[in-house]
């Protein structure tokens, strides 16, 4: 391999360097987004925890009402799963992990499962496990807004109240730490009954009206918390994937540079040998 080989290696080196710049930049962007989303997750988590205490007290008051839809679901055999996936790729095994977990949960009852996908990538993954999505929500912000959460929640709640499904579950990749994310399924409805009434309250205008408004606020906050956790997991997965891709690019560049130097050394050695041979021939 001569000078033509050197030209080809130079082209490959330039191509890999361009790829490395992109993957490195995407890794930095993912790191920045993770920091912002994680901060919002911690703030929203405090809101959910405080709201949960209020819901617990209200639930203890009216949980004896067997007709309340929030405690007693319809007799429908169908269950709703809201699948949280990503809108963009290059995030490693993020989508495959959460969909595989969903498949393990519903593999014996797929005929009774309804799916709502959040994130454009989830739709193609769901089809791979022989499930159909009844609704899709895409282009969710890196920090999901209450307006975005409300659209998804109200669609799911309508199906629940209309008796189309007896459960609302959310499947997502829970953010534990930047290096650890776990697939998880969270049940939103129905909620468990609370029977240990420890305090008495005077509630206006009525127990049921206040409870319904409060539970909707709580569930929206909880769903937003899940979306924020999923977004953190997505950015963490993308950050890890891009760091790995950048390191692979560095390894390829090291090998190409080594190969380039060896070929160049061979060419130089050959040229010196030819010069020496020509000089000897003239003696």
Report d(CA 176, CA 207) in Å as an integer: 37
Q: Give residue 34's pLDDT.
A: 95
- For the stretch 252-282, pLDDT in tens is 999 999 999 888 888 888 878 777 777 677 6
Q: Give residue 71's pLDDT.
A: 84
Report d(CA 234, CA 253) in Å as an integer: 28
Report d(CA 82, CA 230) in Å as an integer: 12
Q: Give residue 202's pLDDT.
A: 61
Task: Examine the pLDDT at 201 and tell me if it is beyond 90.
Answer: no
Domain that holds residue 195: 32-240
Report d(CA 149, CA 160) in Å as an integer: 17
Tokens of 28: 């930095």
Residue in 234, 133, 115 with CA at minimum distance from that of residue 183: 234
Domain shared by 259 and 127, yes or no: no
Q: Give residue 78's pLDDT.
A: 93
Q: Give residue 203's pLDDT.
A: 65
Other Cβ atoms less than 10 A from the Cβ of 112: the count is 13
Domain shared by 92 and 190, yes or no: yes
Q: How many domains, in total, are found in the chain?
A: 2
Mean pLDDT of the chain: 89
Domain shared by 21 and 37, yes or no: no
User: Angle formed by the axes of helices 207-281 and 3-62, to 10°?
Assistant: 170
In percent, how much of the chain has pLDDT > 90? 64
CB-based contacts of 270, cutoff 8 Å, min separation 6: none
For the residues 28-53, what does the mean pLDDT come to? 94
Domain shared by 247 and 230, yes or no: no
- What is the CATH number for 263? 1.10.287.80
Domain shared by 102 and 140, yes or no: yes
Q: Which residue has the tokens 């020509």?
A: 278
Determine how β-strand 180-189 pairs with β-strand 167-177: antiparallel
Domain shared by 222 and 258, yes or no: no
Q: Give residue 237's pLDDT.
A: 95
- For the stretch 166-186, pLDDT in tens is 999 999 999 999 889 999 999
Q: Is residue 134 part of a domain?
A: yes
Q: Give residue 199's pLDDT.
A: 59
58 — pLDDT class (breaks 50, 70, 90):
confident
Task: Examine the pLDDT at 40 and tell me if it is beyond 90.
Answer: yes
Domain shared by 81 and 216, yes or no: yes
Q: Give residue 198's pLDDT.
A: 56
User: 64 or 149: which carries more pLDDT confidence?
Assistant: 149
Domain shared by 262 and 182, yes or no: no
Side-by-side strand order, sheet with 180-189: 133-137, 113-118, 79-84, 167-177, 180-189
For the residues 14-35, what does the mean pLDDT come to? 95
> Distance of CA 65 to CAs 3, 30, 52, 53, Å?
85, 48, 20, 20
CB-based contacts of 99, cutoff 8 Å, min separation 6: 83, 85, 122, 125, 126, 128, 129
Task: Examine the pLDDT at 55 and tell me if it is beyond 80.
Answer: yes
137 — pLDDT class (breaks 50, 70, 90):
very high
Q: Which residue has the tokens 């629940």?
A: 160
Task: Examine the pLDDT at 127 and tell me if it is beyond 60.
Answer: yes
In percent, how much of the chain has pLDDT > 70? 91
> Distance of CA 33 to CAs 28, 103, 160, 213, Å?
9, 29, 34, 33
For the residues 224-247, what does the mean pLDDT come to? 96
Q: Is residue 283 part of a domain?
A: no
3-state secondary structure labels for all residues of the chain = CCHHHHHHHHHHHHHHHHHHHHHHHHHHHHHHHHHHHHHHHHHHHHHHHHHHHHHHHHHHHHCCCCCCCCCCCCCCCCEEEEEECCCCCCCCCHHHHHHHHHHHHHCCCHHHEEEEEECHHHHHHHHHCCCCEEEEECCCCCCCCHHHHHHHHHHHHHHHHCCCCCEEEEEEEEEEECCEEEEEEEEEECCCCCCCCCCCCCCCCCHHHHHHHHHHHHHHHHHHHHHHHHHHHHHHHHHHHHHHHHHHHHHHHHHHHHHHHHHHHHHHHHHHHHHHHHHHHCC
């Amino acid at each position: 391999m001569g000078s033509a080989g050197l030209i080809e290696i130079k082209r490959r080196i330039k191509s890999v360097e361009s790829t490395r710049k992109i993957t490195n930049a995407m890794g930095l962007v993912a790191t920045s987004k993770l920091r912002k989303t994680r901060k919002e997750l911690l703030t929203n988590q405090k809101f959910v925890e405080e709201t949960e205490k209020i819901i617990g007290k209200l639930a203890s008051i009216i949980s004896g009402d067997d007709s309340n839809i929030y405690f007693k679901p319809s007799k429908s055999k169908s269950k709703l799963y809201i699948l949280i996936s990503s809108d963009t790729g290059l995030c490693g095994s993020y989508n495959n992990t959460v969909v595989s977990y969903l498949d393990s949960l519903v593999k014996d009852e797929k005929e009774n499962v309804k799916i709502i996908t959040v994130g454009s990538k989830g739709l193609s993954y769901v089809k791979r496990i022989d499930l159909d999505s009844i609704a899709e929500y895409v282009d969710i912000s890196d920090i999901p807004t209450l307006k975005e959460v409300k659209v998804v929640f109200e669609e799911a709640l309508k199906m629940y109240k209309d008796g189309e499904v007896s459960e609302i579950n959310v499947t997502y990749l829970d953010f534990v730490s930047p290096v650890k994310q776990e697939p998880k399924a969270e049940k939103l409805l129905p909620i468990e009954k609370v029977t240990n009434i420890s305090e008495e309250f005077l509630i206006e205008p009525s127990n049921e009206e206040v409870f319904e408004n409060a539970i909707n606020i709580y569930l929206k906050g909880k769903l937003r918390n899940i979306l924020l956790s999923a977004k953190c997991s997505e950015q963490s997965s993308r950050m890890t994937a891009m760091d790995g891709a950048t390191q692979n690019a560095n390894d390829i560049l090291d090998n190409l540079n080594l190969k380039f130097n060896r070929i160049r050394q061979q060419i130089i050695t050959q040229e010196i040998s030819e010069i020496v041979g020509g000089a000897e021939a003239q003696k």
